[in-house]
Amino acid sequence: MGLAAYAAELITFLLGLWFYKRVGYNSSILFLAHFDWDVVKTSFKFGVFEMLGSAAWSFGRPAEIAITQALINYAEIGELGPGSIISFSAFTSPRPSTTV
C-alpha cells in the first residue's frame, strides 16, 4: 500500500512535469530556490504556531476519551427500563416467578 502511494505520487509528478514542458516552460525553474531568509523566518514563525495548534488537538482528543471513560457509569446502562434498546435484561438470570 505504501509503495503504491509513492508510485502514484511519482506518476503524478512526472505527468505534471510533462504537461509543464509541453506548454513550453522550462522545468528547471521549478527546482530553484527563489526566496531569502526573511521568507524562511516568516514560514517558520507560521509553522511553529500551526504545529502547536495541531499538537493541542492531538493531546486534546485522547484526554477527552480518558475523561469520558472515567465519568461513564457502565453499571447503570441496563437500568434504562424494560423494552429499552440498550437494556441487557436478556443476558441476566431469569427472575423467580411471583405467581401463587
Could you give the CA distance from residue 59 to residue 61 in angstroms, rounded to a whole number? Answer: 6
Q: How is residue 92 annotated by DSSP?
A: S
Lookup: cell for 99? 405467581
> The pTM is what?
0.37
CB-based contact 78:88 (threshold 8 Å):
yes
The predicted pLDDT at position 74 comes to: 60
Could you give the CA distance from residue 53 to residue 46 in angstroms, rounded to a whole number? Answer: 11
Could you give the CA distance from residue 24 to residue 28 in angstroms, rounded to a whole number? Answer: 12
Q: pLDDT band for 78, please (50, 70, 90 cuts).
A: low
CB-based contact 31:20 (threshold 8 Å):
no
Q: pLDDT band for 9, please (50, 70, 90 cuts).
A: very high
Q: Compute the average pLDDT of residues 16-42.
A: 88
